[in-house]
Structure 1
């Protein structure tokens, strides 16, 4: 019998949707609230490595991800002019029966997870979040922003890196800028693009693209962060086209397609890792609410999915919810998450410092060896 009968999930992103599905599958009553009325169905693209695919298979949505995404097993390194310098075989961190990587449109992944939440029978309310929490030894009393109330055995805070729930329970950690920022945009897929290609150098630190389906890719450019006040969203397409001028190969075709500023996303790279514990009483953090890092290893979604998988496993395998269970969740997750956060930040520091002889293959190999193991 699961250790909880009813759970509130705050946030309907990757981690929140995943744990809602897993808990409902075990027979737990789940309420999910998401402050965005559109349930976060937006974005350009996402890179899902094997360990993320393993989680999505266990959640039960791998068939849909495989159908709508674009799988590949290699990574290309190119010069700014488009010349291919090296192609490496990627390690299948999810096991030999899954691709090393799948790229897909982020809105498509969200729609797949949303449908799974609905199909499993979670009660969903959009445009609503938590206003206040009051805990005792047996549960959590919640007041929502629409004035309604509820009582739950457990509250799972999956409300992202800016988590208001994290603040409500007195955890002071906040994301900190790393000094880098990224431009992202969806684009039509040139026929020759069948994997991620990365360019280090040129006008930006990194220029890259990833196929997200038979007809689409998402492209990205990483540069020093700028003050957001200095950027006008109406000029985002113009600015990304300007940066893309310094790259050859398929980039001229990508550049031609960047015309709609509403399709271009500009985001700072942040870093955060909550230390000590990820819970206070009966409120526990998952995903970006507990940790975030630059996407230099493409492990953000994977770490969030793994959090959901491990927490759901513990909650459904034990018959008592106590501090020891939630502490075990943290202790299982923190070494692996720290490895990813530290490695992602090391890559950022090497780029910021202009280090040209860094042992990037060694760093990636050591990190991948960790990720091959089950979380």
Structure 2
């Protein structure tokens, strides 16, 4: 079904590619950017001409996420003639340099784009989405939204803040039928790395000695990697993933990684059960009844010593594939700290049907086919609905 999709920062990189990808997918795309009659006039004309030539539905609008007046007037004008179904918060900057050497003014400028800019656009579209009981917010974060990276301290700080805000809205907006989700790309070749904002306190930079050369070395390294043109670092991967999320039926995952994520999948998998348990405990304290009918599965697997490594590797191999299955929210494996060959598998699926779909996957069947030979004793399985009154006591 065609949707009206507003994209911020569509003049370049991921935003530009996503605008074209979604328009080709049959959606009506509102590609927003700053200064469409000045600095971005050429790209605005190119996008509009491309859409007209190929019969796609795409329009370019003026929107500066650092200006509340610009955001409010643009979105109000759009809502007077169409319903914004999806907002993709893509506009952002990526500073790279000695963290201490960024002045408070530079820190504020980064947060104004990467965090406050997102808040501005959300505040402008959400009243309309909540009234319609329908809508989707997609926030473009980064692997840096889960990792702390030297010389990207300011960028990481902005993306960590973005993720906290986006996930909090995920829970707050659920009863209105509005989803707030996060996409975490790894390193992809865009112009963000071509000229990252550098710190301006030169005296501070000089005091770091040879370490001050590190940011430039990192930028050169990334530029060299991207220049190789490897498919895994093609920013089109992110645009394709965004299109998949837009078209997805049912509840979408809160977080989706794209490309080389430097272990972020593992972080997300480990954190998810803790976060879910906290939310189940927290919402009642806030006087909110959780409407959660997801199915939780706990499996205790005890492997024979001679098959432990083989069994562990097989189970670990299906984790990323399972997390990409529709209806799968959590799929994580933990080792028993006593080291006695026991593994604990925690799964969370949308419902029983989603769990059965998982069991029917060929890569899942391949692991199950070996279970009987690997096992020291039968697998102990517990299933429970998240909304059960005893769930928190069990998980």
TM superposition score normalised by structure 2: 0.32
Structure with greater helix percent: 2
Structure with greater strand percent: 1
TM superposition score normalised by structure 1: 0.34
